[in-house]
């Protein structure tokens, strides 16, 4: 009987500063501004399902296989070692109990292992609290060790998501910023959304500058989700060369609304040049 194998997914992409944007053309007579919030659903955080993308599963130890094959004897070994504060044994026992019984039954073993500074146990504990049990406060507490001492980018990102969900925007922004500077793409994108969360503010369009840099950077790097947001922000900043460029890129990926806006801008620019 084969034991389960889990995989690690770490989404990291290099963070560099974009070159300054091209001079803005005068706005063609289209809409006064583009509603950037209309595209919000286009970019989502990594799937919040611990069984899928945004979750780290660690390869099970051979001891789990032994427990299944040898039964009570091997299980007694795990229990004995866990009682003697062997962090790995507590973690493995937690995995075994979770599979055989329930998530709730496995929590005490993960908690003990995490308290003994087993990073894998803290990560599993945080993920279970955040994505299965939906207790954000306990999840944040579980993320402290892997994020703080181990500098685990995904743990820090998850912690920031939990902070955002709890409405602790300043703390979430600080955490997303820290991970964005470490080249984590999803943190950068979340940061861009938070920085322009007030929506369209014609009195202070500078609010869009940093998010524009983030979205345009990842659009250039092939992240199709970011192109439409980059184009909308460029439009509102009256950087029409950039808006046209990113609408075209978004159009090429099959987004009809961007195709229409690209054509309108192109025609407006053409008319103006005559």
**More confident position, 41 or 97:** 97
262, burial (CB in 10 Å: exposed 0-12, middle 13-18, buried 19+): buried
Residue 192 pLDDT exceeds 70: yes
**More confident position, 145 or 197:** 145
pTM of the shown model: 0.70
pLDDT in tens, 27-42: 445 565 666 556 654 4
Report the percentage of the chain scoring pLDDT > 90: 52
Residue 104 pLDDT exceeds 70: yes
Residue 196: closest CA among 169, 217, 175: 169
Q: How far apart are CA 216 and CA 228, in angstroms?
A: 9
Contact assessment for residue 150 and residue 141, using Cβ atoms and an 8 Å cutoff: no
Q: And the tokens for 179? A: 């991970």
pLDDT value, residue 267: 87
Q: What is the mean pLDDT of residues 137-156?
A: 96
Write the class of the CATH domain 43-184.
mainly alpha
**pLDDT interval class at 7 (50, 70, 90):** very low
Residue 187's CB is within 10 A of a number of other CB atoms, namely 29
Q: What is the mean pLDDT of residues 170-198?
A: 88
Domain ranges of the chain: 43-184
List of residues 6+ apart from 106 with CB closer than 8 A: 94, 95, 97, 98, 128
Q: How far apart are CA 123 and CA 121, in angstroms?
A: 5
Residue 177 pLDDT exceeds 70: yes
């Amino acid at each position: 009987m084969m034991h389960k194998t889990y995989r690690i997914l770490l989404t990291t992409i290099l963070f560099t500063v974009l070159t300054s944007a091209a001079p803005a053309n005068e706005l063609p007579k289209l809409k006064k501004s583009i509603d950037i919030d209309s595209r919000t659903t286009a970019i989502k955080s990594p799937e919040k399902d611990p069984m899928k993308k945004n979750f780290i599963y660690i390869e099970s130890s051979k001891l789990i296989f032994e427990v299944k094959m040898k039964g009570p004897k091997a299980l007694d070994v795990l229990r004995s070692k866990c009682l003697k504060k062997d962090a790995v044994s507590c973690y493995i026992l937690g995995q075994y109990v979770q599979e055989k019984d329930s998530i709730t039954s496995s929590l005490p073993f993960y908690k003990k292992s995490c308290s003994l500074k087993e990073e894998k146990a803290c990560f599993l504990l945080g993920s279970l609290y955040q994505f299965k049990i939906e207790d954000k406060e306990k999840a944040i507490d579980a993320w402290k060790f892997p994020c703080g001492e181990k500098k685990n980018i995904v743990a820090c990102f998850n912690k920031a998501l939990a902070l955002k969900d709890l409405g602790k925007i300043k703390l979430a922004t600080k955490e997303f910023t820290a991970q964005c500077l470490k080249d984590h793409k999803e943190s950068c994108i979340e940061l861009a959304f938070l920085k322009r969360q007030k929506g369209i503010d014609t009195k202070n369009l500078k609010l869009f500058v940093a998010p524009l840099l983030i979205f345009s950077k990842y659009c250039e790097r092939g992240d199709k989700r970011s192109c439409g947001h980059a184009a909308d922000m460029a439009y509102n900043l009256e950087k029409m060369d950039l808006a046209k460029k990113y609408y075209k890129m978004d159009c090429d990926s099959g987004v009809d609304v961007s195709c229409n806006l690209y054509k309108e801008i192109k025609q407006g620019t053409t008319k103006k040049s005559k």
